[in-house]
Chains A and B, each alone.
Chain A
Amino acid sequence: MFFPISGAHISPIYLAIVGFLIGILGGFFGVGGSFIAGPALRAVGLDWNFAVGTDLAHIVGKSVVAAKRHRALGNVDLRLGLIMAVGTIGGAECGAQLIQMLKRAGNVNLVVSIVSIAVYVSISTFMIWESQKTLRAQNRKVAAGGIKGTTAKRDQSAFKPTTRAIQRLKIWPMVALPTSGIKAISIWIILLVAFVGGVFSGFLGGGAGYIRMPSMVYVLGVPTHLAVGTDLFEIIISASYGTFTHAVKGNVDILIALVMNTGAAIGAQIGAISTQYFTGPKIRLAFVPLPLIGAAIVIYTLVTGHKL
């Protein structure tokens, strides 16, 4: 199929399959999936600038489908998502400016690569430790007859004492998030978490969901299922902003994004529904390979000099 905007010839079946796979990941983990979509689009000859912009447009569509499904399942905190969107957009702009500064200093690739590898590996290592510790504690309680089993949404975390300490920080203004079960938390902490995710998004492209979703769980104390759904809702806003700015610069082939979204729509539904059959710690444990894939891509780019 010929796509006149980017001038590319790409099979629509290939695009729909790529969209389907990313849809499943997005629906289940609340990530944009740009670490798969970007390389998949470039692999069929799409220019790098079109791959980045078109991927963002596709992320908007997929996130709408997944977030709608998560909302029907009660997994979206709208108030939290709206506050986070502000921080993410601000962070993404700062990330892009930071890149420009590092470019002028002449060592952008090395600095960004080393920082991102360290962050990705740290997230994965921490999540393996935390989720396994939580699962072991749960199993011990079940074996001792303390609890008769766990429901999917009854979230536990070995990091809870630290999360509670963060929630107790009284930095005005405070906001209540009843949907997430948080009585009060400083709005600045929410904005900071979103801002950091946004900075990484500006640094590395894509939505940086593999940083934001764990941050929502461990720093803000949002239950995993709600973190997934809310992250998707937040991605709709921040990725729409990114799509608009990229489209103005001539980097979006919306026809390719529309075709990818036909596969993503069904994949995102499957991913979102699947979260109901897993407890929070199990979703977090399954999440571990995603930041590692991100780290592997950065290492590949650093070693070969080719962007995937």
Chain B
Amino acid sequence: MGSRPLATPLWASLGVLGLLLVVAAGVGSVPIAAGEVVAAVGRGLWRAVAGPTAITTGLDAEATRVIDTIVWQIRLPRVALAALVGAALGLAGAGFQGVFRNPLADPYLLGAASGAGFAASLAMVSGGVFGLGALGVPLAAFVGAATTVALVVALARRGWSLPIVPLVLAGVVVGSCLAAGTSFVLLAAREQAAGVLTWLLGSLAFASWGRVGTLLPSVVVAGAVLIAAARSLDVLQLGERAAAQLGLRVEGLKLAVVAAGTLATAAAVSVAGVIGFVGLLVPHAVRLALGPDHRRLVPLSAVWGAGFMVLADLVARTVIAPAELPVGVVTALVGAPFFLLLLRRRVAP
């Protein structure tokens, strides 16, 4: 049974992730003592259980309200959203690298990012789609990402089979087309260009519990599908023909993994924009550290992805506060050297 080799690293990783979440919730541009943060978390939980009640604290009511707002409505949703986005991209990356049997595959390979970017920029320039207001851009991005991947799959399919090389090529071509479309939108609507660019670079600055809630179901579903497919992905690494001879329904697996990976990617992009490098880096890091077994790789990519994003976002919002680095810049700056280090360690001995 495969649970024994998974258990130790999984629990250890979850422990580290928990620690990272606590640290990230405790740090921000407004200095709040650790005890106050813990007290604010406690007050929020108490209110959730006992309803809105007055709670006496050492501070005056106004200061308490400010701390509660910062902890509960700014930091916690942001940290939770970072973790979920990281988990989604880690899952999608592990799934795509497994199904394409290619180490360069990442969640955006089939055009999810450019599709989301094009749809989101159109939505922003046209001032929210169909009066959906704040919901418009995330919804447009999600639909754009999912539609693009569906189009790519439709272009590449041969009957009921999904050959890998045409799929990747179609993804690259459709992606380039849509990226050009996004550039055109940017040029045409210069007034909104700054907003569109910020979104394209990826940001968790506008995190909210609402966004956490919209992302969570997609991550859970995608995670369940990919974890269930883990053993089949292991078999697939023998090659499509060998896997088929062993009784694997290769085409069904490919479709399921692409669909689950796309769901996770589209959901992540829709709430946080296009954040690069996470989906590429994290599965590699897990593979280099713990080996290529997908039953470990898939769940640990989710956990490590979550931890990596929380860390990257913490760096993004603190190093040059009150200004903020685009979190995608941090994932690349932190991720690339770390990745090279792992690679060298792997190659050297």
A, B: real partners: no
The interface of chain B, by Cβ under 8 A from chain A, is none
The interface of chain A, by Cβ under 8 A from chain B, is none
